[in-house]
Chain A
Amino acid sequence: MELRKSYFADVRKDDLHEIGQPRPRSDSPGHVTGKTAYFADRNFPGMLHLKMVRSPHHHARIRSIDTSEAEKHPGVVKVLTAKDVPHNVYTILILIQVGPEDETVLADGKVRWKGEAVVAVLAETERAAQEAAAKVKVDYEVLPAVFDMEEALKPGAPLVNEYHGQNYYLYDSGECRKVRFGDVEAGFAGADHILEQSYQSSPIEHAPTETTGCVVMPEGNDRFTCYTNTQAMFFTLDNTSIILQMPGSKLHFVGGTVGGGFGGKVDVIVEPIAILGAKLTGRPVSFIYSREEEMQISSPRAAEKVVIKDGVMKDGRIVARKVTGYTDAGAYSRHSPYGAQKGAGHYPGPYTIPNVWIDTYCVYTNRTPSSAMRGFGVTIGDFALEVQMDKLARLIGMDPLEFRFINAYRDGDMKAHRQPTEGAALIECMQEASRAANWPVAEKYMAMSSYKNGA
Chain B
Amino acid sequence: MAIRRGRGVAAINYPTGMNLGGDPTQALVHSTPTGNFMVTLSSVDLGQGMKQIMAQICAETIGVPTDRVVVDTADTDTGPHCMGTFASRGTHRAGNAVIQAAKEARQVMLEVAAEELEVNASDLDTDGQGNILVKGAPQKSISIFDVALSAHFKRGRSISGRGMFLIPRSYPEKETGAMKPSTCYAHACTVAEVEVDDETGEVTVLTVKNVFEIGRALNPKMVEQQLVGGSWMGISHALYETTEPYYPNRDHGGTDFNQYLMPGPGDLAETEIIVLERPSADGPYGAKGPGEMCANPQIPAVANAVFDAVGVRIDTLPITPERILRALKAQATN
Taking a contact as CB atoms under 8 Å apart, the answer to whether B84 and A201 are in contact is no
A26 interface neighbour in B7, B44, B51, B82, Cβ under 8 Å: B51
B255 interface neighbour in A26, A93, A291, Cβ under 8 Å: A291
B285 interface neighbour in A3, A19, A430, Cβ under 8 Å: A19
B204 an interface residue at 8 Å Cβ cutoff? Answer: no
Taking a contact as CB atoms under 8 Å apart, the answer to whether A374 and B211 are in contact is no
B97 CB to closest chain A CB, in angstroms?
14
| Nearest residue, chain A, Cβ from B95 | A19
Taking a contact as CB atoms under 8 Å apart, the answer to whether A200 and B317 are in contact is yes
Q: Which 7 A-B residue pairs are closest in the complex by CB-CB distance?
A: A232-B84, A179-B177, A386-B300, A256-B74, A256-B73, A345-B181, A437-B191
B303 interface neighbour in A21, A255, A387, Cβ under 8 Å: A387
Taking beta carbons and an 8 Å cutoff, which residues of A are in contact with B?
A: 1-5, 7-8, 11-12, 16-27, 31, 58, 93, 96, 98, 114, 147-148, 172-173, 177-181, 197-205, 207, 230-235, 237, 251-263, 266, 291-292, 295-296, 300, 303, 338, 341-342, 344-346, 349-350, 358, 365, 367-368, 372, 374-376, 378-380, 382-387, 389-391, 400-401, 404, 408-409, 416-419, 422-426, 428-430, 432-433, 436-437, 439, 450
B21 an interface residue at 8 Å Cβ cutoff? Answer: yes
14 residue pairs from A and B, CB less than 8 Å apart: A1-B273, A1-B274, A12-B286, A255-B74, A257-B44, A295-B243, A295-B254, A341-B172, A344-B172, A345-B15, A378-B14, A386-B299, A386-B300, A400-B9
A302 CB to closest chain B CB, in angstroms?
11
- Most chain-B CB neighbours within 10 Å: which of A21, A235, A368, A389? A21
| Nearest residue, chain B, Cβ from A146 | B248
B31 an interface residue at 8 Å Cβ cutoff? Answer: no
Q: Binary interface profile of B, 231-249, with partner A (CB < 8 Å = 1, else 0)?
A: 0010001100111100111
Q: Tell me which of B110-118, B149-157, B219-227, B326-334 binds A.
A: B219-227
A417 to B215: give the CA distance in the assembly, Å. 23
A379 interface neighbour in B67, B81, B299, Cβ under 8 Å: B299
B140 an interface residue at 8 Å Cβ cutoff? Answer: no
Taking a contact as CB atoms under 8 Å apart, the answer to whether B46 and A260 are in contact is yes
A12 to B260: give the CA distance in the assembly, Å. 44
A26 to B217: give the CA distance in the assembly, Å. 18
| Nearest residue, chain A, Cβ from B237 | A204
Residues facing A in B196-232 (CB within 8 A) are 209, 211-213, 215-224, 227-228, 230
Taking a contact as CB atoms under 8 Å apart, the answer to whether A433 and B211 are in contact is yes
**Residues in A neighbouring B316, C-beta threshold 8 A:** 199-202
B187 an interface residue at 8 Å Cβ cutoff? Answer: yes
B262 CB to closest chain A CB, in angstroms?
7
A1-B224, A292-B255, A404-B9 given as contacts; is B175 within 8 A of A173 (CB)? Answer: yes
**Residues in A neighbouring B244, C-beta threshold 8 A:** 202-203
Taking a contact as CB atoms under 8 Å apart, the answer to whether A423 and B220 are in contact is no
Taking a contact as CB atoms under 8 Å apart, the answer to whether B189 and A432 are in contact is yes
A22 CB to closest chain B CB, in angstroms?
4
Taking a contact as CB atoms under 8 Å apart, the answer to whether B76 and A147 are in contact is no
**Residues in A neighbouring B193, C-beta threshold 8 A:** 437
A418 CB to closest chain B CB, in angstroms?
4
B36 an interface residue at 8 Å Cβ cutoff? Answer: no
A178-B177, A422-B281 given as contacts; is B307 within 8 A of A390 (CB)? Answer: yes
Number of B residues whose C-beta is below 8 Å from A?
A: 131
B300 interface neighbour in A98, A203, A230, A385, Cβ under 8 Å: A385
Taking a contact as CB atoms under 8 Å apart, the answer to whether A11 and B76 are in contact is no
**Residues in B neighbouring A1, C-beta threshold 8 A:** 220, 223-224, 227-228, 273-275
B331 CB to closest chain A CB, in angstroms?
15
**Residues in A neighbouring B72, C-beta threshold 8 A:** 256
Taking a contact as CB atoms under 8 Å apart, the answer to whether B219 and A233 are in contact is no
B264 CB to closest chain A CB, in angstroms?
13
B146 an interface residue at 8 Å Cβ cutoff? Answer: no
Taking a contact as CB atoms under 8 Å apart, the answer to whether B275 and A4 are in contact is yes
Taking a contact as CB atoms under 8 Å apart, the answer to whether A19 and B74 are in contact is no
Taking a contact as CB atoms under 8 Å apart, the answer to whether B7 and A439 are in contact is yes
Query: 18 new A-B pairs (CB below 8 Å) besides A201-B316, A423-B278?
Result: A3-B275, A178-B175, A197-B315, A258-B46, A261-B47, A292-B255, A342-B18, A346-B15, A350-B13, A350-B185, A374-B295, A378-B14, A390-B8, A401-B9, A404-B11, A425-B213, A426-B213, A433-B9
Taking beta carbons and an 8 Å cutoff, which residues of B are in contact with A?
A: 7-15, 18, 20-22, 42-47, 49, 51-52, 55-57, 59-60, 63, 65-67, 72-77, 79, 81-87, 128, 169, 172, 174-182, 184-185, 187-191, 193, 209, 211-213, 215-224, 227-228, 230, 233, 237-238, 241-244, 247-250, 253-257, 259-260, 262, 272-281, 285-286, 288, 291-293, 295-297, 299-301, 303-304, 307, 313, 315-318
Taking a contact as CB atoms under 8 Å apart, the answer to whether B292 and A18 are in contact is no
B195 CB to closest chain A CB, in angstroms?
16
**Residues in A neighbouring B297, C-beta threshold 8 A:** 382, 386
A452 to B288: give the CA distance in the assembly, Å. 20
Taking a contact as CB atoms under 8 Å apart, the answer to whether B247 and A303 are in contact is yes
A21 to B293: give the CA distance in the assembly, Å. 23
- Most chain-B CB neighbours within 10 Å: which of A7, A24, A202, A303? A202
Taking a contact as CB atoms under 8 Å apart, the answer to whether A383 and B317 are in contact is yes
**Residues in A neighbouring B187, C-beta threshold 8 A:** 350, 424-426, 428-429
A286 CB to closest chain B CB, in angstroms?
20
B278 interface neighbour in A7, A256, A258, A303, Cβ under 8 Å: A7
- Most chain-A CB neighbours within 10 Å: which of B83, B213, B292? B213
Taking a contact as CB atoms under 8 Å apart, the answer to whether B57 and A19 are in contact is yes
A173 to B174: give the CA distance in the assembly, Å. 5
**Residues in A neighbouring B179, C-beta threshold 8 A:** 345, 417-419
B313 interface neighbour in A207, A391, A400, Cβ under 8 Å: A391
| Nearest residue, chain B, Cβ from A428 | B276
**Residues in A neighbouring B87, C-beta threshold 8 A:** 376
| Nearest residue, chain A, Cβ from B217 | A3
A293 to B14: give the CA distance in the assembly, Å. 31
Taking a contact as CB atoms under 8 Å apart, the answer to whether A382 and B317 are in contact is no
**Residues in B neighbouring A251, C-beta threshold 8 A:** 76
